[in-house]
Amino acid sequence: MRPVRRGASPREVDYTDYTEAKPDLVARLGAYCSFCERPIATQLAVEHVQPKSVAEYAHLIGRWENFLLACVNCNSTKGSKDVQPAHVFLPDRDNTFVAFDYLPDGTVNAGQTAVDAGVEQVANASLALTGLDKAALNTPDENGRQVALDRVRQRMEAWLVAEQANVDLAADADAGVLREYVAKLAASTGFFSVWMTVFEDDADMRRRLILKFPGTDASGCFDRANGSPVTPCPNLDGLEAGGKI
């Protein structure tokens, strides 16, 4: 999960129609699902961290600080589950990049950093919240080819694209133009954490990736000199239970 900073609300009062927050959120966070990191051109929904359908959180329905962006899969899996920020890692207040490990086969697990810190359960609860721990679906098209319908396989495809870009760059590592092109390719492919994992030994590319995805540099979760993760998240907006990792 890509760490992001939402920042101060563009409005002085709560949104009367929360759907109006979408362009403001896209401007701050980019058009990606806040949970699975997919780029979503359409059907990206304003996501309530604490669900609007739960009476206890009804007053947060138009509250900027309660908004993220989510795809239909993550949104529907999360549904009306009670979300208590102390019990899950959230991309607006924790360093959710180190909370999880991304593997070449498209799976996401509790990160080694979370395991070492004894908060593996929090990481697993976060994956279960939006179903990121689900296995891949094998869905052949009419020609028998496997189609990337689900988040796991799309993540795996992003990994292959990133890995090829890494190989291409190695052949011409000083090419600034090519590096910027790869960063743009990453932004259009999505899956920030996959790209950051593949380029873990390339500080220059990590910095370019951090800058290319809106809201991530502002999160303070990455060192501005070398792109290394900063933990715990500095939780610059002072959100409830932030900075757990």
Query: Is residue 33 part of the contact set for Zn ion (CB under 5 A)?
Result: yes
Nearer to Zn ion, 2 or 179 (CB): 2
The three-state DSSP-derived secondary structure of the chain is CCCCCCCCCCCCCCCCCHHHHHHHHHHHHCCECCCCCCECCCCCEEEECCCCCCHHHHHHCCCHHHEEEECHHHHHHHCCCCCCCCCCCCCCCCCCCCCEEECCCCCEEECHHHHHCCCHHHHHHHHHHHCCCCCCCCCECCCCCECCCCHHHHHHHHHHHHHHHHHHHHHCCCCHHHHHHHHHHHHHHCCHHHHHHHCCCCHHHHHHHHHHCCCCHHHCCECCCCCCECCCCCCCCCCCCCCCC
Instruction: Pull the structure tokens for residue 55.
Output: 């009476």
Nearer to Zn ion, 152 or 239 (CB): 152
In the complex, the smallest distance separating the C-beta of residue 55 from Zn ion, rounded to whole angstroms, is: 26
In the complex, the smallest distance separating the C-beta of residue 99 from Zn ion, rounded to whole angstroms, is: 16
Nearer to Zn ion, 13 or 135 (CB): 135
Query: Is residue 186 part of the contact set for Zn ion (CB under 5 A)?
Result: no
Nearer to Zn ion, 71 or 152 (CB): 71
Cα gap 146→140, rounded to integer Å:
4
Q: Give the x/- contact pattern for Zn ion in 37-76, rule: CB under 5 A.
A: ----------------------------------x--x--
Nearer to Zn ion, 28 or 208 (CB): 28
Query: Is residue 245 part of the contact set for Zn ion (CB under 5 A)?
Result: no
Instruction: Pull the structure tokens for residue 70.
Output: 């989510």
Determine the size of the site formed for Zn ion (CB under 5 A).
5
Only one of the segments 29-37, 41-49, 157-165, 200-208 lies at the binding site for Zn ion (rule: CB under 5 A); that segment is 29-37
Nearer to Zn ion, 60 or 132 (CB): 132
In the complex, the smallest distance separating the C-beta of residue 203 from Zn ion, rounded to whole angstroms, is: 28
In the complex, the smallest distance separating the C-beta of residue 100 from Zn ion, rounded to whole angstroms, is: 14
Q: Which residues bind Zn ion (CB under 5 A)?
A: 33, 35-36, 71, 74
